[in-house]
Amino acid sequence: MRIFTNTHYDFIRWRWHALILSALVILGGFGAIASRGGLPLGIDFSGGTIVVVKFAKATSEETVRTAIDTIPGEKVVQTYGDASQNEILIRLPQVQGQEQGFQLEQGAKDILAALKASNVGTFEVRSQEIVGPVIGADLQRKGIYATLASIFGIALYIAFRFRPSFAIGAIAATLHDVLVTVAFLVFFGYDLSLNIIAAILTITGYSVNDTIVIFDRVRENQHTMRREPLDKIVNDSVNQTLSRTIITAGTTFLAVLSLYLFGGEVLEGFAFTMLVGIISGTYSTVFIAAAVAIILSKTSGKKAGAASAAVSTSAGTKPAPATGSKSAAGKGGRKARAS
């Protein structure tokens, strides 16, 4: 069984459409963020209190909301996980107060006291997380730094193994993935937590995998298709590796899907982020990384021959192209190829 054999999709021709679609999604994300007044931050970054209680009997969010009504501040009460689990999550915002004499755990104590006092039934505290303001701000800073540092670290590696214009393409693709993922997180109502940032960091490493495979094939094709324009080389490379790209994305997607479905509520945000990241990563590799690499290579002149000689080559010859893509007069122009 083979899928995607002998494909001749002209990805390069569709790159502007793809870029526009991505821009729309990302702008939509910014819009959603602006309309809610900022990124949806979990308590890890904004500080605050989260208590997850499990009731012995089914209890509605409304009951709990009424019970804790006396506590000041904007409270969030929502069902946690599967409805049959009877778990409710209660979130209190960060209390603005001095640290001197400031009881970090006051909010949590108040919640539990209020619940007990209003006789909502027996409950068990599943987990309790309280983050003070200083720690929250600290983690925000570290999270941004780690993400950016990871992107640039990987880009450096690609610049070293391939060539700088490819590295810029990789950075563009990865930044695209991060922004698209954050946009989807906002659309679907997830709060940024430490786990989600961990997933975003993982995506920066993962999304570049496909990119490397395609760049690798481009480098290889440049030897055998020396006289062809870069447009065509890249297009052919993408088509040749399409099968592999889709399948690896597919298998990783399957594994993470299992995590999303069966892995429990704690990891749900993480799994969702990875799912979006995998799809976005594949999409960005096919359309964006290659496109950016071409744009940059063109503007920096004809470096195709010289650069590939400087890059280390690997053993083994590429098999004679079974795809039979011979172009009649392919030079510079973007010829649409019917598949």
Partner 1 sequence: MYKNLRWKLLSIALVVVVAVFGFYPPEQKIRLGLDLKGGVHLVLRVQTEDAVKFETELTSERLRQALTEKGLTGTTVTVEPPMTFKVAGVPSQQDAEFRRLADDQASRRFDRASGSGGTYTFTMKPSEAVSVRESAVRQALQTIERRVNDLGVAEPIVAQHGSAGDQILVQLPGVTDVNRAKEIIRSTALLELKIVEAGPAPSEESLLSASGGKPPEGMEVITGANLSQDGAGGTSYYLVKQIAPVTGRDLRDARPGMDENGLPAVHFSLTREGATKFAKLTSENIQRPLGVILDNRVQSVATIISRIADEGQIAGNFSPQEVQDQSLMLRSGALPASLTYMEERTIGPTLGADSIRAGVIASVGGLLLVALFMLAYYKLAGINAIVSVAMNLIILMAFMSYIGAVMTLPGIAGFILTIGMGVDSNVLIFERIKEELASGKGARAAVAAGFDRVFLTILDTHVASLISAGFLFQFGTGPIRGFATTLFFGLISNVFTAVFVSRTLFELGLSRRQQVATLSI
CA distance 211 to 288: 10
Residues contacting residue 4 through CB under 8 Å, at least 6 positions apart: 242, 243, 246
Question: Which of 13, 75, 126, 298 touches partner 1 (CB under 8 A)?
Answer: 126
| AA identity, residue 269 | G
Q: Is 195 in the site for partner 1 (CB under 8 A)?
A: yes
Give the total of residues touching partner 1 (CB under 8 A): 78
Using CB under 8 A as the binding rule, the residues of this chain from 22 to 81 that contact partner 1 are 52, 54
β-strand 123-131 against 48-55: which pairing, if any?
antiparallel
* Closer of 69 and 105 to partner 1 (Cβ): 105
Dist CA 317 CA 335 (whole Å)? 28
Residues in region 148-167 near partner 1 by CB under 8 A: 149-150, 153-154, 157-158, 161
Helix (H) or strand (E) holding 293: helix 290-299
**Tally of residues, the chain:** 339
In 3D, which of 155, 176, 157, 150 has the Cα closest to residue 167?
155
Site for partner 1 in 248-277 (CB under 8 A): 248, 250-259, 261-264, 266-267, 270-271, 274
Q: Least Å distance between CB 221 and partner 1?
A: 13
Binding range to partner 1, per CB under 8 A, among 34-42, 56-64, 88-96, 237-245: 237-245
Residue 55's SS3 state is strand
With contacts defined by CB under 8 A, name the span among 69-77, 224-232, 241-249, 289-297 that binds partner 1: 241-249
* Lookup result for tokens 């590696």: 157
Which residue in the set 25, 194, 279, 295 belongs to the binding site for partner 1 (CB under 8 A)? 194
- One character per residue 73-102, x = contact with partner 1 (rule: CB under 8 A): --------------------------xx-x
Instruction: Copy the structure tokens of residue 184.
Output: 């989807």
- Which residues, 307 to 326, sit near partner 1 by CB under 8 A? 314-316, 318-320, 322
- Of 7, 118, 140, 243, which one interacts with partner 1 (CB under 8 A)? 243
CB burial of 262-284 (b: ≥16 within 10 Å; e: otherwise) equals eeeeeebbbbbbbbbbbbbbbbb
- Within residues 204-233, the interface with partner 1 by CB under 8 A covers 204-206, 208-209, 212-213, 216
219: β partners: none
Stretch that binds partner 1, among 12-20, 29-37, 113-121, 147-155 (CB under 8 A): 147-155
Give the interface segment with partner 1, choosing from 26-34, 55-63, 130-138, 294-302 (CB under 8 A): 130-138
Q: Closest distance between partner 1 and the C-beta of residue 128, in Å?
A: 4
Cα 321 from Cα 228, distance rounded (Å) = 14
Distance CA 320, CA 200 (A): 39
Q: Which is nearer to partner 1, 135 or 295 (CB)?
A: 135
3-state secondary structure of 32: helix
Report the residue number, 23 or 149, with the smaller CB distance to partner 1: 149
